[in-house]
A and B are shown apart, each in its own frame.
Chain A
């Protein structure tokens, strides 16, 4: 027990590679496998054909059966390794299969048909990263449009979220006014109630406002997030009031105090809220699904779900389109990961 804690609690100390250091790197390597492995599996699966997706046991890489163009046949024929009666194996092309019997030919001698039991043949396959699913997916829905809508929703919603919440946080942290405590408490008390349990009344409000089938109906309702307001307020409380008083003496308007003093100083907290807002909006599914039912307004998340029918799910397309929706946010993360993680870390959350 003590040994485990020895390992866990030691802050950076000695320089030699101790057993605990090895354990550390073991834990971290395992972390890479556990955190990235499942996503990698998704990406690999997205290259598989609809038939291969349901195969068991699943194979790590996507495969495709090799084919060969044989004279006298219009379509390329699939290739098999065939175990012949005399015990030898030969590469042969299959003309057709009837019941338990396959009619095979030697590509070199296309006129001679040999009948083979289907258990005596093995398909010859090679690894194939085809883009077929991606192309079919993109072609069967208006990918560019959905991408554009997703970007619009994400960007506009994030800007509004930042603006509206930082203004409120500023007022609630830097002023004494009647109702301040009440407003704060009411907002915080709704933190625990998820949107999913009040869907019906929220949708009623949206309809009354006339934002049904309108991107505003997706953007606005989530813009005043109590979580974001709370986060910013807590951070702004740590900014000394003297700065504000000094600015007032200099004759700055309240807006300038907010925009030129408070906002720049709250940058880490704003960065965190930005990350979360982008994430929420980009990934949001249930609410857009409810508000939007016209194709030209669909976001990616809603669009890719049109492959879910009543009776059938087109898995290969869902997998491929899911990977596509993952790409942008993953790329942004790859470039900004340092800023993002340090941003969250330095906000403090006290």
Chain B
């Protein structure tokens, strides 16, 4: 019987492999990698990668190396990055970098598991800085100028990628800085004959003014905010919410948080906000589409929308970015952005570091910022200024308003974005507040449920 089984398994394997080869070109490409050592002089050492890399460089008989770079894009970033990667490959003929452009869902849901199973890429563009702690590569030993790297990026972001207790590792860099803030349809204000209010206007005042504008111009909606805990947080903090205390603990139930939830609820009750933004479920819903179609006076979103507005609004109306409204807590947006990170499982750490170092060079970094119309997170680039690739004054104005918002960020507005458990807050808060707005939950229940969701997720992660 045993023999029979063996035969059967063999037959099955033959059938499987018969259809195998033509579908699996990938392993063939990877194959050369493991047999790289023997060429070099030191034969005995087993895992000498860190010391070996420089030697290999000196010898100039370099094995071809392939790096996989998982990349998601909101707009044209992948095209711009591909240009930079091509430039890098031209300068380093032995290194091939494959830019895998993937859906954001892959980065958000699948990448963590890929990395945990050791099947991940060499590099990736991520948004959830805390999700890969302990799995990232410390680039420091491979960098030519680690001090430059460290000095030119915000310390909290670099720290967010380190595992607990580690204070020196350099595992990646933020490739773009984003900040939340409201867009306003200037043409509608002009038509209504109402002046756009300046800095220091409260959310309640903005609500009233945009409502007047909408009424005067016959536009359907006055005011809205993207459906995510990230965009919700800024206004809530401005209204006095202390979401994250000095010890990094989340506290949801504060008067400021409640006040902003109640304000959004009043928008829904008054019918001055597009209900589809918050009431349709578990996905990203931005008010920007309503804004682009000219049906909405004010949309609280963020700096990443500029590119899309340029393309889609065109000449239809004038739009401006205004400073974040204020409240009991002052005025603050929320920082955000993505980062390029390297993974510890990479078989070619030296080459990864080389690519990283290439990307943070001022000329390359500013090329990325200029073409994607994003705020540079690299300090040298930021202080030199970026020549954004646009001929529209509105874009430059918008970028400068956003830039002016950066120094006004509250500590907690920076801490939120780099918080290791921010993910537990982002999605759950949007869903729970959505339930509150539909009347499924009272505000008290919402606060209690949301706190529970966050506590559960943190407890699970610490188990």
Contact = CB atoms under 8 A, between A and B. Distances in A.
A50 B312 contact: yes
Contact of A306 (B101, B292, B295): B101
A97 interface: yes
B75 A306 contact: no
A311 B226 CA distance: 10
Contacts of B190: 99-100
Given A100-B191, A293-B106, A310-B107, 8 more contacts: A51-B313, A119-B191, A152-B22, A215-B24, A216-B23, A293-B111, A302-B103, A306-B101
Interface string A8-43: 000000000000000000000000000000000000
Nearest to B226: A311
Interface stretch (A84-92, A206-214, A323-331): A206-214
Contact of A310 (B16, B117, B127, B191): B127
B95 to A, nearest CB: 17
A297 interface: yes
Contacts of B110: 289-290, 293
Contacts of A314: 75
Nearest to B27: A214
A94 B315 CA distance: 11
B72 A152 contact: no
Nearest to B295: A56
Given A100-B191, A293-B121, A309 B104 contact: yes
A54 B292 contact: yes
A294 interface: yes
Contacts of B111: 293
Interface string A290-307: 100111110000100110
A55 interface: yes
Contact of B284 (A78, A100, A207, A311): A311
A214 B295 contact: no
A160 interface: yes
Contacts of A215: 23-24
A141 interface: yes
Contacts of A51: 292, 311-314, 316
23 contacts: A51-B311, A51-B314, A51-B316, A94-B315, A99-B190, A99-B318, A140-B78, A160-B19, A214-B26, A216-B20, A216-B24, A293-B102, A293-B111, A294-B26, A295-B99, A295-B100, A295-B101, A305-B103, A309-B73, A309-B74, A309-B104, A310-B284, A312-B286
Nearest to B193: A100
B410 interface: no
Nearest to B120: A293
Contacts of A56: 293, 295
Interface string B260-273: 00000000000000
A78 B315 contact: yes
A50 B311 contact: yes
A124 interface: no
Interface string A227-271: 000000000000000000000000000000000000000000000
A273 interface: no
Nearest to B103: A305
A156 interface: yes
Contact of B308 (A94, A207, A312): A312
A51 B292 CA distance: 8
Interface string B184-204: 001100110000000000000
A297 B316 CA distance: 41
B36 to A, nearest CB: 21
B79 interface: yes
A296 B98 CA distance: 10
A312 B304 contact: yes
Nearest to B307: A312
A296 B68 CA distance: 11
B302 interface: yes
A234 to B, nearest CB: 25
A313 B311 CA distance: 13
B253 interface: no
Given A289-B105, A289-B110, A308-B105, A212 B117 contact: yes
B113 interface: yes
A81 B75 CA distance: 34
A219 interface: yes
Interface string B152-189: 00000000000000000000000000100000001100
Nearest to A100: B190
Contacts of A313: 284
B119 interface: yes
B323 to A, nearest CB: 21
A141 B101 contact: yes
Contact of B293 (A55, A220, A289, A308): A55
A182 B102 CA distance: 43
> Which of A156, A295, A309 has the largest count of B CB atoms less than 10 A from its CB?
A309
Contact of A100 (B22, B74, B117, B187): B187
Q: In the A-B complex, list the 9 residue pairs whose CB atoms are closest, starting with the nearest.
A: A309-B74, A305-B103, A312-B74, A215-B23, A51-B312, A212-B119, A310-B104, A207-B117, A295-B100
A63 interface: no
Given A140-B79, A309-B104, A152 B23 contact: yes
A54 to B, nearest CB: 5
A156 B17 CA distance: 12
A334 to B, nearest CB: 29
B16 to A, nearest CB: 8
B114 interface: yes
B229 to A, nearest CB: 14
Contact of B114 (A118, A293, A295, A305): A293
B289 A54 contact: yes
Contact of B73 (A100, A118, A203, A306): A306
Given A140-B79, A310-B127, A203 B113 contact: yes
Tell which of A141, A159, A213, A216 has the most Cβ of chain B within 10 Å. A213
Contacts of B338: 310
Contact of A289 (B70, B78, B103, B302): B103
A201 B292 CA distance: 43
B119 A308 contact: no
Contacts of B100: 293-295
Contacts of B38: none
Nearest to A49: B312
Interface in B311-362: 311-316, 318, 338
Contacts of B308: 50, 312
B6 to A, nearest CB: 19
B316 A308 contact: no
Nearest to A117: B191
A321 to B, nearest CB: 12
A308 B286 CA distance: 13
Interface in A188-222: 203-204, 207, 212-216, 219-220
Given A152-B23, A293-B121, A308 B103 contact: yes
B407 interface: no
Contacts of A296: 25-26, 98
A276 to B, nearest CB: 20
A219 B16 CA distance: 11
Contacts of B117: 204, 207, 212
